[in-house]
Amino acid sequence: MNTRAAPTIGIMPWLPFTDRAGRVSLFKLLVFTACCAPAVWMAYRWGAGLLSPKPVTDILRETGDWALRFLVVTLAVSPLRHATRWNRIYVVRRMLGLTALSYTLAHLGFWFGHEGFRWMHLLYEVFFRTYLLIGVVATAIMVVLGVTSNDASIRRLGAARWNGLQWWIYPAALASLVHYFMLIRLEATQAALMAGFCTLFAGFRFLRKMKGEFGALHLFALAVLAGFATAGIEIGYYAFATGAQASRLIDAHWDFTYQVRPAWWVLAAGLALAFAWIVRDAFSKYGARSHHQRVMVREGGPTTTGKQADPA
């Protein structure tokens, strides 16, 4: 008689918060809730009349902001996975990428609405306004990445070609940042912060590709370089946009009275990755040493202290 229990039948496995067997994953459910929260909050504020007299303009701006934020969070998954060896975080990377695409398409849709769905006018604007053309290019790249973000595409393209295609998320992020910088009006804090994080995460990928194996010292150096790059981006923007003296802009980075500049947040994120790497290595070595000692004791061999284990 077969005494094995029947397999558990879960709910629909294609739902974003379930695993392949259809079981609800608490981790994926929490991430999915976080992905939906900005859209729900925007809808609530619109319905409650809490936006400006031009709600389409407000939502147009906010969907663009959230698209860029989720794109940056998607880029952060791989560094976090390798720095902490928390492999489980990888299961939400596709969800985060598709969330970034969803907010991007919503941003595009609200732009259509903002322009009154005048299609010839929209085409004219795209081809004769550089920042719009760059934004459309970024959107097109993200659409291609989103359409191929499935198991069937991996099988059809092969792992190597599919991974090469996914690399285009970095050009998409760069185009999105350029589009964002060309839109802002004298307030570059968020843009510089997003650019700094993209620099940090792209630098991590570069280290993996060029060095293969690297350590915490490389990550410390990357954190410092990314922090300097972020400061340079912000200073360069304000110097170009306002004509302010670079020396005054540099001094502002050391004034923490009102605000911590983006460069310091990027530096802190990079240092956190480096410290996570150190802790990960320490626990790995401790676990390996403890396992070796247990094996030696069971087999009656010498332990790491050099003493002979007593026979059982």
Would you list the DSSP string of 161-220? Answer: HHHHHHTTHHHHHHHHHHHHHHH--S--HHHHHHHHHHHHHHHHHHHHHHHSS--HHHHH
- Domain boundaries, given as residue ranges, for the chain: 15-180, 184-307
pLDDT tens track for 87-141: 999 999 999 999 999 999 999 999 999 999 999 999 999 999 999 999 999 999 9
Please state, in angstroms and as integers, the Cα–Cα distance from residue 135 to each residue in 31, 51, 139, following that order: 27, 25, 6
Mean pLDDT for back-to-back runs of 10 residues, the chain (312 residues)? 46 79 90 98 96 95 97 96 92 96 98 94 94 97 95 90 93 97 90 98 91 86 98 95 90 92 98 94 69 58 49 38
Single out the residue of 127, 205, 204 nearest to residue 163, CA to CA. 205
Tell me the pTM.
0.87
Q: What percent of the chain has pLDDT over 70?
A: 88
Instruction: Give the whole-angstrom CA distance, residue 130 versus residue 85.
Output: 41
26 burial type by CB count under 10 A (0-12 exposed, 13-18 middle, 19+ buried): exposed
| pLDDT at position 7 | 44
For residues 75 and 89, the answer to whether their CB atoms sit within 8 Å is no
Q: Is the dihedral of CA 185, 189, 193, 199 positive or negative?
A: positive
